[in-house]
Protein backbone atom coordinates (compact mmCIF):
# COMPACT_ATOMS: atom_id res chain seq x y z
CA UNK A 1 0.00 0.00 0.00
CA UNK A 2 1.57 3.24 -1.11
CA UNK A 3 1.44 6.10 1.41
CA UNK A 4 2.68 9.61 0.89
CA UNK A 5 2.80 12.85 2.80
CA UNK A 6 0.17 15.45 1.96
CA UNK A 7 0.34 19.18 2.61
CA UNK A 8 -0.28 20.17 6.23
CA UNK A 9 -3.26 22.47 5.66
CA UNK A 10 -4.72 23.22 9.05
CA UNK A 11 -7.33 25.75 7.95
CA UNK A 12 -10.18 23.66 6.61
CA UNK A 13 -11.55 26.66 4.72
CA UNK A 14 -8.46 26.71 2.48
CA UNK A 15 -8.27 23.00 1.76
CA UNK A 16 -8.15 22.47 -2.01
CA UNK A 17 -11.60 21.58 -3.28
CA UNK A 18 -12.33 20.13 -6.71
CA UNK A 19 -14.17 22.66 -8.84
CA UNK A 20 -16.28 21.81 -11.86
CA UNK A 21 -14.89 22.68 -15.27
CA UNK A 22 -16.17 26.15 -16.14
CA UNK A 23 -16.50 25.53 -19.84
CA UNK A 24 -19.50 25.45 -22.12
CA UNK A 25 -22.58 24.33 -20.16
CA UNK A 26 -20.79 23.86 -16.83
CA UNK A 27 -20.42 27.58 -16.07
CA UNK A 28 -24.13 28.18 -15.28
CA UNK A 29 -24.16 25.07 -13.03
CA UNK A 30 -21.10 26.33 -11.17
CA UNK A 31 -22.63 29.79 -10.64
CA UNK A 32 -25.90 28.22 -9.47
CA UNK A 33 -24.09 25.96 -6.93
CA UNK A 34 -22.21 28.94 -5.50
CA UNK A 35 -25.43 30.98 -5.23
CA UNK A 36 -27.22 28.06 -3.55
CA UNK A 37 -24.41 27.75 -1.01
CA UNK A 38 -24.71 31.40 0.03
CA UNK A 39 -28.53 31.26 0.05
CA UNK A 40 -28.38 28.36 2.53
CA UNK A 41 -25.74 30.15 4.60
CA UNK A 42 -27.92 33.29 4.76
CA UNK A 43 -30.94 31.18 5.69
CA UNK A 44 -28.99 29.54 8.50
CA UNK A 45 -27.89 32.88 10.02
CA UNK A 46 -31.37 34.36 9.66
CA UNK A 47 -33.11 31.49 11.47
CA UNK A 48 -30.38 31.14 14.10
CA UNK A 49 -30.67 34.83 15.02
CA UNK A 50 -34.44 35.15 14.54
CA UNK A 51 -35.10 35.52 18.26
CA UNK A 52 -32.68 38.44 18.55
CA UNK A 53 -34.11 40.09 15.46
CA UNK A 54 -37.66 39.87 16.87
CA UNK A 55 -36.55 41.26 20.23
CA UNK A 56 -35.23 44.47 18.67
CA UNK A 57 -38.66 46.00 17.80
CA UNK A 58 -40.08 44.80 21.15
CA UNK A 59 -37.24 46.47 23.03
CA UNK A 60 -37.76 49.66 21.04
CA UNK A 61 -41.47 49.68 21.94
CA UNK A 62 -40.70 49.23 25.66
CA UNK A 63 -38.11 52.00 25.65
CA UNK A 64 -40.46 54.30 23.75
CA UNK A 65 -43.21 53.64 26.27
CA UNK A 66 -40.92 54.22 29.27
CA UNK A 67 -39.68 57.48 27.78
CA UNK A 68 -43.16 58.99 28.27
CA UNK A 69 -42.80 58.68 32.07
CA UNK A 70 -40.78 60.90 34.37
CA UNK A 71 -38.62 59.48 37.17
CA UNK A 72 -41.08 60.72 39.80
CA UNK A 73 -43.98 59.01 38.07
CA UNK A 74 -42.10 55.71 37.95
CA UNK A 75 -41.17 56.01 41.65
CA UNK A 76 -44.79 56.79 42.62
CA UNK A 77 -45.97 53.74 40.70
CA UNK A 78 -43.48 51.54 42.57
CA UNK A 79 -44.62 52.88 45.97
CA UNK A 80 -48.26 52.44 45.03
CA UNK A 81 -47.70 48.83 43.97
CA UNK A 82 -45.32 48.02 46.85
CA UNK A 83 -46.94 44.66 47.63
CA UNK A 84 -46.80 43.57 44.01
CA UNK A 85 -43.13 44.61 43.78
CA UNK A 86 -42.23 42.63 46.94
CA UNK A 87 -44.10 39.53 45.80
CA UNK A 88 -42.56 39.71 42.34
CA UNK A 89 -39.06 40.14 43.76
CA UNK A 90 -39.56 37.25 46.18
CA UNK A 91 -40.83 35.02 43.39
CA UNK A 92 -37.84 35.86 41.21
CA UNK A 93 -35.36 35.13 44.03
CA UNK A 94 -37.14 31.88 44.94
CA UNK A 95 -37.24 30.71 41.31
CA UNK A 96 -33.59 31.58 40.75
CA UNK A 97 -32.56 29.76 43.95
CA UNK A 98 -34.57 26.67 42.98
CA UNK A 99 -33.01 26.70 39.50
CA UNK A 100 -29.42 26.89 40.77
CA UNK A 101 -30.06 24.12 43.33
CA UNK A 102 -31.77 21.72 40.91
CA UNK A 103 -29.72 22.27 37.75
CA UNK A 104 -27.26 19.49 36.78
CA UNK A 105 -23.69 19.83 37.97
CA UNK A 106 -21.25 20.80 35.27
CA UNK A 107 -18.76 18.06 34.40
CA UNK A 108 -15.29 19.13 33.26
CA UNK A 109 -12.61 17.12 31.49
CA UNK A 110 -9.50 18.22 33.33
CA UNK A 111 -7.02 16.21 31.25
CA UNK A 112 -6.63 12.90 29.42
CA UNK A 113 -3.72 10.69 28.47
CA UNK A 114 -3.17 8.02 25.80
CA UNK A 115 -0.57 5.28 26.21
CA UNK A 116 2.18 4.99 23.58
CA UNK A 117 4.03 1.64 23.68
CA UNK A 118 7.78 1.43 23.17
CA UNK A 119 9.59 0.44 19.95
CA UNK A 120 9.82 -3.19 21.08
CA UNK A 121 6.05 -3.51 20.57
CA UNK A 122 6.03 -2.17 17.00
CA UNK A 123 4.23 -4.55 14.64
CA UNK A 124 4.72 -3.94 10.93
CA UNK A 125 2.52 -5.73 8.41
CA UNK A 126 5.49 -7.87 7.42
CA UNK A 127 6.15 -8.89 11.04
CA UNK A 128 2.46 -9.67 11.52
CA UNK A 129 2.50 -12.06 8.56
CA UNK A 130 5.78 -13.65 9.70
CA UNK A 131 4.35 -14.38 13.15
CA UNK A 132 1.12 -15.72 11.65
CA UNK A 133 3.08 -18.04 9.34
CA UNK A 134 5.32 -19.23 12.19
CA UNK A 135 2.33 -20.26 14.29
CA UNK A 136 1.62 -23.16 11.86
CA UNK A 137 -2.08 -22.87 12.67
CA UNK A 138 -3.33 -20.89 9.71
CA UNK A 139 -3.85 -22.42 6.27
CA UNK A 140 -2.43 -20.83 3.13
CA UNK A 141 -5.90 -19.48 2.33
CA UNK A 142 -6.20 -17.91 5.79
CA UNK A 143 -2.76 -16.32 5.51
CA UNK A 144 -3.66 -14.86 2.10
CA UNK A 145 -6.94 -13.54 3.54
CA UNK A 146 -5.17 -11.85 6.47
CA UNK A 147 -2.64 -10.28 4.11
CA UNK A 148 -5.46 -8.87 2.00
CA UNK A 149 -7.18 -7.48 5.08
CA UNK A 150 -3.96 -5.75 6.20
CA UNK A 151 -3.39 -4.24 2.77
CA UNK A 152 -6.88 -2.78 2.66
CA UNK A 153 -7.25 -1.86 6.35
CA UNK A 154 -5.84 1.67 6.28
CA UNK A 155 -3.04 0.62 8.66
CA UNK A 156 0.51 1.95 8.51
CA UNK A 157 3.70 0.19 9.57
CA UNK A 158 3.93 1.52 13.13
CA UNK A 159 1.02 -0.02 15.05
CA UNK A 160 1.71 -1.94 18.29
CA UNK A 161 1.12 -5.48 19.54
CA UNK A 162 1.73 -7.13 22.96
CA UNK A 163 4.95 -9.02 23.60
CA UNK A 164 3.14 -12.27 24.32
CA UNK A 165 1.96 -12.50 20.72
CA UNK A 166 5.44 -11.78 19.37
CA UNK A 167 6.80 -14.99 20.83
CA UNK A 168 7.02 -18.21 18.82
CA UNK A 169 4.93 -19.98 19.95
CA UNK A 170 2.73 -17.12 21.26
CA UNK A 171 2.20 -16.77 25.00
CA UNK A 172 -1.50 -16.26 25.84
CA UNK A 173 -1.18 -17.11 29.52
CA UNK A 174 -3.08 -15.28 32.24
CA UNK A 175 0.21 -13.84 33.55
CA UNK A 176 1.10 -12.37 30.15
CA UNK A 177 -2.41 -10.96 29.78
CA UNK A 178 -2.11 -9.30 33.19
CA UNK A 179 1.24 -7.80 32.17
CA UNK A 180 -0.29 -6.28 29.03
CA UNK A 181 -3.21 -4.70 30.90
CA UNK A 182 -0.98 -3.37 33.66
CA UNK A 183 1.48 -1.89 31.18
CA UNK A 184 -1.05 0.09 29.12
CA UNK A 185 -3.44 1.09 31.92
CA UNK A 186 -0.89 2.08 34.53
CA UNK A 187 1.21 3.80 31.86
CA UNK A 188 -1.75 6.00 30.85
CA UNK A 189 -2.70 6.73 34.47
CA UNK A 190 0.86 7.59 35.50
CA UNK A 191 1.09 10.10 32.67
CA UNK A 192 -2.32 11.57 33.56
CA UNK A 193 -1.47 12.03 37.24
CA UNK A 194 1.86 13.62 36.33
CA UNK A 195 0.13 16.14 34.03
CA UNK A 196 -2.68 17.04 36.46
CA UNK A 197 -0.69 16.73 39.72
CA UNK A 198 -3.78 15.15 41.29
CA UNK A 199 -3.04 12.84 44.20
CA UNK A 200 -4.46 9.30 43.89
CA UNK A 201 -6.15 9.74 47.27
CA UNK A 202 -8.23 12.62 45.87
CA UNK A 203 -9.97 10.38 43.32
CA UNK A 204 -13.47 9.44 44.50
CA UNK A 205 -14.83 7.59 41.44
CA UNK A 206 -13.13 4.96 39.27
CA UNK A 207 -14.65 3.46 36.09
CA UNK A 208 -12.66 0.89 34.07
CA UNK A 209 -13.78 -0.77 30.85
CA UNK A 210 -12.21 -3.78 29.16
CA UNK A 211 -14.58 -5.78 27.02
CA UNK A 212 -13.00 -9.25 26.76
CA UNK A 213 -10.49 -9.54 29.61
CA UNK A 214 -12.22 -9.59 33.00
CA UNK A 215 -10.02 -11.38 35.57
CA UNK A 216 -10.55 -11.78 39.31
CA UNK A 217 -9.75 -9.53 41.11
CA UNK A 218 -11.02 -7.03 38.55
CA UNK A 219 -8.91 -4.55 36.62
CA UNK A 220 -10.43 -1.73 38.66
CA UNK A 221 -9.34 -3.51 41.84
CA UNK A 222 -5.83 -3.79 40.40
CA UNK A 223 -5.74 0.00 39.95
CA UNK A 224 -7.06 0.57 43.47
CA UNK A 225 -4.35 -1.73 44.82
CA UNK A 226 -1.52 -0.22 42.77
CA UNK A 227 -2.29 3.42 43.63
CA UNK A 228 -3.62 2.71 47.16
CA UNK A 229 -6.85 4.57 46.46
CA UNK A 230 -9.23 5.43 49.28
CA UNK A 231 -11.33 2.67 50.88
CA UNK A 232 -14.65 4.39 50.14
CA UNK A 233 -13.93 4.90 46.43
CA UNK A 234 -16.82 4.16 44.06
CA UNK A 235 -15.26 1.54 41.77
CA UNK A 236 -16.88 0.09 38.63
CA UNK A 237 -15.56 -2.49 36.14
CA UNK A 238 -17.42 -2.72 32.79
CA UNK A 239 -17.01 -5.80 30.61
CA UNK A 240 -18.44 -7.20 27.37
CA UNK A 241 -19.57 -3.81 26.03
CA UNK A 242 -17.29 -3.56 22.99
CA UNK A 243 -15.57 -0.57 21.47
CA UNK A 244 -18.29 1.86 22.57
CA UNK A 245 -17.64 1.16 26.26
CA UNK A 246 -15.38 4.20 26.60
CA UNK A 247 -18.32 6.58 26.14
CA UNK A 248 -20.51 4.39 28.35
CA UNK A 249 -17.87 4.84 31.06
CA UNK A 250 -17.96 8.62 30.53
CA UNK A 251 -21.76 8.59 30.82
CA UNK A 252 -21.63 6.53 34.02
CA UNK A 253 -19.02 8.83 35.54
CA UNK A 254 -21.12 11.86 34.58
CA UNK A 255 -24.17 10.42 36.39
CA UNK A 256 -22.09 9.63 39.49
CA UNK A 257 -20.67 13.16 39.53
CA UNK A 258 -24.23 14.52 39.66
CA UNK A 259 -24.80 12.99 43.10
CA UNK A 260 -21.30 13.18 44.60
CA UNK A 261 -20.23 16.82 44.89
CA UNK A 262 -16.64 18.02 44.92
CA UNK A 263 -15.30 14.83 43.32
CA UNK A 264 -12.79 13.58 40.79
CA UNK A 265 -13.68 10.66 38.48
CA UNK A 266 -11.01 8.58 36.76
CA UNK A 267 -12.11 6.75 33.60
CA UNK A 268 -9.76 4.13 32.09
CA UNK A 269 -10.50 2.53 28.69
CA UNK A 270 -8.58 -0.37 27.14
CA UNK A 271 -8.85 -3.79 25.51
CA UNK A 272 -6.66 -6.84 26.05
CA UNK A 273 -5.16 -8.34 22.88
CA UNK A 274 -3.06 -11.17 24.33
CA UNK A 275 -5.90 -13.22 25.81
CA UNK A 276 -8.22 -12.83 22.85
CA UNK A 277 -6.09 -13.51 19.77
CA UNK A 278 -7.81 -16.07 17.56
CA UNK A 279 -5.87 -19.09 16.27
CA UNK A 280 -8.09 -20.73 13.69
CA UNK A 281 -9.28 -20.41 10.11
CA UNK A 282 -12.78 -18.96 10.40
CA UNK A 283 -12.60 -15.81 8.24
CA UNK A 284 -15.25 -13.93 10.20
CA UNK A 285 -13.02 -14.27 13.28
CA UNK A 286 -9.69 -13.60 11.55
CA UNK A 287 -10.66 -9.99 10.76
CA UNK A 288 -10.38 -8.94 14.42
CA UNK A 289 -6.79 -10.25 14.55
CA UNK A 290 -5.89 -7.89 11.73
CA UNK A 291 -7.64 -4.82 13.13
CA UNK A 292 -7.08 -4.68 16.90
CA UNK A 293 -3.89 -3.23 18.36
CA UNK A 294 -2.37 -2.19 21.70
CA UNK A 295 -3.57 0.98 23.46
CA UNK A 296 -5.29 2.57 26.47
CA UNK A 297 -6.55 5.96 27.63
CA UNK A 298 -7.09 7.55 31.04
CA UNK A 299 -9.47 10.51 31.52
CA UNK A 300 -9.87 12.73 34.59
CA UNK A 301 -13.30 14.31 35.11
CA UNK A 302 -14.30 16.80 37.79
CA UNK A 303 -17.44 18.55 39.05
CA UNK A 304 -15.48 21.08 41.11
CA UNK A 305 -16.27 24.64 40.06
CA UNK A 306 -12.71 25.84 40.65
CA UNK A 307 -11.39 23.13 38.29
CA UNK A 308 -13.00 24.87 35.31
CA UNK A 309 -10.08 27.28 34.95
CA UNK A 310 -7.54 24.50 34.34
CA UNK A 311 -9.82 22.06 32.50
CA UNK A 312 -9.82 21.51 28.75
CA UNK A 313 -13.45 20.65 27.99
CA UNK A 314 -16.94 20.67 29.44
CA UNK A 315 -19.21 17.68 28.84
CA UNK A 316 -22.39 18.95 27.17
CA UNK A 317 -24.34 15.83 26.13
CA UNK A 318 -24.14 12.05 26.16
CA UNK A 319 -26.56 9.98 24.07
CA UNK A 320 -26.65 6.18 24.22
CA UNK A 321 -28.39 3.86 21.73
CA UNK A 322 -28.79 0.11 22.32
CA UNK A 323 -30.16 -2.10 19.52
CA UNK A 324 -29.73 -5.39 21.41
CA UNK A 325 -33.44 -6.22 21.20
CA UNK A 326 -32.94 -6.95 17.50
CA UNK A 327 -31.42 -10.40 16.84
CA UNK A 328 -29.40 -9.28 13.81
CA UNK A 329 -27.88 -6.43 15.81
CA UNK A 330 -27.19 -8.66 18.80
CA UNK A 331 -25.34 -11.28 16.72
CA UNK A 332 -23.31 -9.03 14.40
CA UNK A 333 -20.31 -8.92 16.80
CA UNK A 334 -20.15 -12.18 18.75
CA UNK A 335 -17.53 -13.93 20.86
CA UNK A 336 -17.84 -17.65 20.21
CA UNK A 337 -15.96 -20.90 19.75
CA UNK A 338 -14.82 -21.97 16.30
CA UNK A 339 -16.83 -25.16 15.54
CA UNK A 340 -13.77 -26.79 13.92
CA UNK A 341 -10.94 -26.03 16.37
CA UNK A 342 -13.04 -25.00 19.40
CA UNK A 343 -10.76 -21.96 19.73
CA UNK A 344 -12.51 -18.80 20.93
CA UNK A 345 -12.58 -15.61 18.87
CA UNK A 346 -14.78 -12.66 17.98
CA UNK A 347 -16.71 -13.00 14.74
CA UNK A 348 -17.89 -10.05 12.66
CA UNK A 349 -21.09 -10.50 10.67
CA UNK A 350 -21.56 -9.27 7.10
CA UNK A 351 -24.53 -7.30 8.47
CA UNK A 352 -22.20 -5.15 10.58
CA UNK A 353 -22.21 -2.09 8.30
CA UNK A 354 -26.01 -2.11 7.94
CA UNK A 355 -26.49 -2.56 11.68
CA UNK A 356 -24.04 0.25 12.47
CA UNK A 357 -25.90 2.53 10.05
CA UNK A 358 -29.25 1.87 11.72
CA UNK A 359 -27.77 2.40 15.19
CA UNK A 360 -26.20 5.69 14.09
CA UNK A 361 -29.49 6.85 12.57
CA UNK A 362 -31.30 6.21 15.86
CA UNK A 363 -28.57 7.92 17.85
CA UNK A 364 -28.46 11.11 15.78
CA UNK A 365 -32.27 11.29 15.79
CA UNK A 366 -31.98 11.82 19.54
CA UNK A 367 -28.84 13.93 19.42
CA UNK A 368 -29.90 16.19 16.52
CA UNK A 369 -32.50 18.31 18.36
CA UNK A 370 -29.99 18.88 21.19
CA UNK A 371 -27.18 20.23 19.01
CA UNK A 372 -28.40 21.26 15.56
CA UNK A 373 -29.29 24.90 14.85
CA UNK A 374 -32.98 25.62 14.34
CA UNK A 375 -32.40 26.19 10.62
CA UNK A 376 -31.35 22.56 10.11
CA UNK A 377 -34.15 21.21 12.32
CA UNK A 378 -36.74 23.12 10.28
CA UNK A 379 -35.38 21.75 7.00
CA UNK A 380 -35.38 18.20 8.35
CA UNK A 381 -38.93 18.56 9.71
CA UNK A 382 -40.17 20.08 6.44
CA UNK A 383 -38.81 17.22 4.30
CA UNK A 384 -40.21 14.68 6.77
CA UNK A 385 -43.67 16.25 6.51
CA UNK A 386 -43.39 16.35 2.73
CA UNK A 387 -42.56 12.66 2.47
CA UNK A 388 -44.80 11.22 5.18
CA UNK A 389 -47.83 13.54 5.26
CA UNK A 390 -48.08 15.15 1.84
CA UNK A 391 -46.57 12.17 -0.04
CA UNK A 392 -44.23 14.43 -1.99
CA UNK A 393 -41.72 12.73 -4.29
CA UNK A 394 -38.60 13.40 -2.24
CA UNK A 395 -36.00 10.74 -2.98
CA UNK A 396 -34.40 10.66 0.47
CA UNK A 397 -34.89 12.34 3.86
CA UNK A 398 -32.94 15.53 4.43
CA UNK A 399 -29.57 14.83 6.05
CA UNK A 400 -28.82 17.64 8.54
CA UNK A 401 -25.50 19.40 8.17
CA UNK A 402 -23.74 18.42 11.40
CA UNK A 403 -20.79 20.60 10.40
CA UNK A 404 -22.97 23.52 11.61
CA UNK A 405 -23.16 21.91 15.07
CA UNK A 406 -19.57 20.69 15.49
CA UNK A 407 -16.10 21.86 14.56
CA UNK A 408 -14.42 18.49 15.22
CA UNK A 409 -15.44 14.86 14.73
CA UNK A 410 -13.88 11.88 16.52
CA UNK A 411 -15.33 8.74 14.94
CA UNK A 412 -14.25 5.38 16.34
CA UNK A 413 -11.40 4.09 14.19
CA UNK A 414 -12.84 0.58 14.00
CA UNK A 415 -11.99 0.06 10.37
CA UNK A 416 -11.74 1.78 7.05
CA UNK A 417 -15.21 0.72 5.89
CA UNK A 418 -16.92 2.36 8.87
CA UNK A 419 -15.02 5.61 8.35
CA UNK A 420 -15.82 5.65 4.62
CA UNK A 421 -19.54 5.17 5.28
CA UNK A 422 -19.75 7.89 7.92
CA UNK A 423 -17.78 10.33 5.79
CA UNK A 424 -20.28 9.76 3.00
CA UNK A 425 -23.49 9.74 5.07
CA UNK A 426 -22.61 12.76 7.21
CA UNK A 427 -21.10 14.59 4.22
CA UNK A 428 -17.84 15.28 6.04
CA UNK A 429 -14.64 16.58 4.45
CA UNK A 430 -11.18 14.97 4.49
CA UNK A 431 -10.19 17.55 7.12
CA UNK A 432 -12.96 16.38 9.47
CA UNK A 433 -12.06 12.70 8.93
CA UNK A 434 -8.31 13.21 9.31
CA UNK A 435 -8.05 12.50 13.08
CA UNK A 436 -9.90 9.20 12.71
CA UNK A 437 -8.05 8.07 9.59
CA UNK A 438 -4.63 8.99 10.95
CA UNK A 439 -5.36 7.23 14.26
CA UNK A 440 -6.32 4.09 12.35
CA UNK A 441 -3.14 4.44 10.26
CA UNK A 442 -0.77 5.09 13.16
CA UNK A 443 -2.22 3.09 16.07
CA UNK A 444 -4.80 0.76 14.49
CA UNK A 445 -8.09 -0.07 16.20
CA UNK A 446 -7.38 0.43 19.91
CA UNK A 447 -11.02 -0.31 20.75
CA UNK A 448 -12.68 2.01 23.29
CA UNK A 449 -9.59 4.20 23.66
CA UNK A 450 -9.39 5.16 19.96
CA UNK A 451 -11.56 8.28 20.41
CA UNK A 452 -8.97 9.77 22.75
CA UNK A 453 -6.07 9.17 20.35
CA UNK A 454 -8.18 11.05 17.77
CA UNK A 455 -8.82 14.00 20.08
CA UNK A 456 -5.11 14.02 20.97
CA UNK A 457 -4.34 14.28 17.24
CA UNK A 458 -6.52 17.40 16.89
CA UNK A 459 -4.82 18.93 19.92
CA UNK A 460 -1.35 18.14 18.58
CA UNK A 461 -2.28 19.86 15.31
CA UNK A 462 -3.34 22.99 17.21
CA UNK A 463 -6.91 22.76 15.94
CA UNK A 464 -8.82 23.05 19.21
CA UNK A 465 -9.92 26.64 19.88
CA UNK A 466 -11.92 28.03 22.76
CA UNK A 467 -15.62 27.37 22.22
CA UNK A 468 -15.10 24.60 19.66
CA UNK A 469 -17.51 21.66 19.87
CA UNK A 470 -16.33 18.05 19.56
CA UNK A 471 -18.52 15.07 18.66
CA UNK A 472 -17.24 11.65 19.71
CA UNK A 473 -19.04 8.66 18.14
CA UNK A 474 -18.43 5.09 19.34
CA UNK A 475 -19.75 1.76 18.05
CA UNK A 476 -19.71 -1.53 19.92
CA UNK A 477 -21.09 -5.04 20.25
CA UNK A 478 -24.63 -5.47 21.43
CA UNK A 479 -25.13 -3.49 19.12
CA UNK A 480 -24.52 0.00 20.53
CA UNK A 481 -23.88 3.47 19.19
CA UNK A 482 -22.95 6.16 21.71
CA UNK A 483 -22.21 9.88 21.41
CA UNK A 484 -20.50 12.44 23.62
CA UNK A 485 -20.43 16.18 22.95
CA UNK A 486 -17.70 18.38 24.46
CA UNK A 487 -17.09 22.13 24.34
CA UNK A 488 -13.52 23.43 24.56
CA UNK A 489 -13.12 25.73 27.58
CA UNK A 490 -9.83 27.12 26.33
CA UNK A 491 -7.61 27.09 23.27
CA UNK A 492 -5.21 24.14 23.39
CA UNK A 493 -1.61 25.18 22.79
CA UNK A 494 0.19 22.19 21.20
CA UNK A 495 3.57 23.54 22.35
CA UNK A 496 2.52 22.80 25.93
CA UNK A 497 0.97 19.41 25.23
CA UNK A 498 2.38 15.98 25.95
CA UNK A 499 0.59 13.27 24.03
CA UNK A 500 1.55 10.29 21.82
CA UNK A 501 1.54 12.39 18.64
CA UNK A 502 3.77 15.28 19.64
CA UNK A 503 7.16 13.85 18.61
CA UNK A 504 5.94 12.95 15.11
CA UNK A 505 2.93 15.16 14.38
CA UNK A 506 4.73 16.97 11.56
CA UNK A 507 4.80 13.69 9.62
CA UNK A 508 0.99 13.69 9.38
CA UNK A 509 -1.32 13.58 7.58
CA UNK A 510 -0.29 10.95 5.07
CA UNK A 511 -2.29 9.94 2.04
CA UNK A 512 -3.45 6.33 2.13
CA UNK A 513 -3.85 4.74 -1.30
CA UNK A 514 -7.46 4.07 -2.32
CA UNK A 515 -8.35 0.41 -2.71
CA UNK A 516 -11.46 -1.58 -3.55
CA UNK A 517 -13.65 -2.88 -0.70
CA UNK A 518 -12.74 -6.20 0.89
CA UNK A 519 -14.85 -9.14 -0.29
CA UNK A 520 -14.48 -12.21 1.92
SS (H, E, C) 384-447: HHHHHCCCCCCCCCCCCCHHHCCCEEEECCCCHHHHHHHHHHCCCCHHHHHHHHHHHHHHCECH
Supply the pLDDT for residue 1.
Answer: 42
Query: Would you place residue 383 in the very low, low, confident or very high pLDDT band (cuts 50, 70, 90)?
Result: confident
Supply the pLDDT for residue 35.
Answer: 45
Q: Residue 69, SS3? A: coil
pLDDT at 34 over 50: no
Q: Map 284-320 to HEC letters.
A: HHHHHHHHECCCEEEEEEECCHHHHHHCCEEEEEEEE
Identify the CA nearest to 212 among candidates 296, 152, 276, 257. 276
Arithmetic mean of pLDDT, 388-416: 82
Query: Would you place residue 400 in the very low, low, confident or very high pLDDT band (cuts 50, 70, 90)?
Result: confident
Mean pLDDT of the chain: 86
Write the DSSP string, 136-198.
T-S-HHHHHHHHHHHHHTT--S--B--GGGGSSS----HHHHHHHHHHHHHHHHHHHHHHH--
pLDDT at 320 over 50: yes
Supply the pLDDT for residue 96.
Answer: 73
Identify the CA nearest to 459 among candidates 429, 488, 426. 488
Q: Which helix (H) or strand (E) holds 245?
A: helix 245-259
CA distance 346 to 60: 66
Supply the pLDDT for residue 74.
Answer: 66
Arithmetic mean of pLDDT, 9-29: 45
Average the pLDDT over each of 194-208, 237-251, 357-371 and give the range with the smallest value: 357-371
Arithmetic mean of pLDDT, 92-102: 71
- φ/ψ (deg, to 5) at 278: -95, 125
Arithmetic mean of pLDDT, 365-371: 89
Buried b (16+ CB within 10 A) or exposed e, 180-218: bbebbbbbbbebbbebbebebeebbbbbbbbbbbebeeb
**Sequence-distant (≥ 6) Cβ neighbours of residue 181 within 8 angstroms:** 210, 213, 219, 222, 270, 272
Q: Point out the residues that are catalytic.
A: 243, 322, 408, 412, 445
Identify the CA nearest to 12 among candidates 374, 458, 422, 484. 458
Segment 127-173, tens digit of pLDDT: 999 999 998 899 999 999 999 999 888 899 999 999 999 988 999 99
| Greater pLDDT, 24 or 427 | 427
Supply the pLDDT for residue 384.
Answer: 67
How large a percentage of the chain has pLDDT more than 90?
65
In the chain, residues under CATH classification 3.40.47.10 are 108-512
pLDDT at 477 over 70: yes
Query: Would you place residue 513 in the very low, low, confident or very high pLDDT band (cuts 50, 70, 90)?
Result: low
Query: Would you place residue 92 in the very low, low, confident or very high pLDDT band (cuts 50, 70, 90)?
Result: confident
pLDDT at 279 over 60: yes
The residues that bridge with 18 in the sheet, in sequence order, are none
- Looking at 3.40.50.300, 2.60.40.10, 3.40.50.2300, 3.40.47.10, the CATH number of the domain 108-512 comes to 3.40.47.10
Arithmetic mean of pLDDT, 101-107: 82
Amino acid sequence: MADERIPNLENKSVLPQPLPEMKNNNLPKFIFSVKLKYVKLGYHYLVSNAMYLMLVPLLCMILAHLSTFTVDEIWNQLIFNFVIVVLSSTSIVFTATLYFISRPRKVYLVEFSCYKPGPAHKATRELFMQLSSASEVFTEQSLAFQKKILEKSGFGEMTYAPKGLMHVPPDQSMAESWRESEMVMLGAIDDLLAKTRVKPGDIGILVVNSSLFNPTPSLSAMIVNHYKLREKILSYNLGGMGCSAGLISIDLAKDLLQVHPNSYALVVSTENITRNWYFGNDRSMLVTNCLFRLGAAAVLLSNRTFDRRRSKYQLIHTVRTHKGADDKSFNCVLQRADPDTKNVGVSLSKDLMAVAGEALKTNITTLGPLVLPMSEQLLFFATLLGRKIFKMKIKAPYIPDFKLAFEHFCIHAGGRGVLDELEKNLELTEWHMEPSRMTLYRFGNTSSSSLWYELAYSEAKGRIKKGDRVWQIGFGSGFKCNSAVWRAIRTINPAKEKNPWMDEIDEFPVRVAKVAPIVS
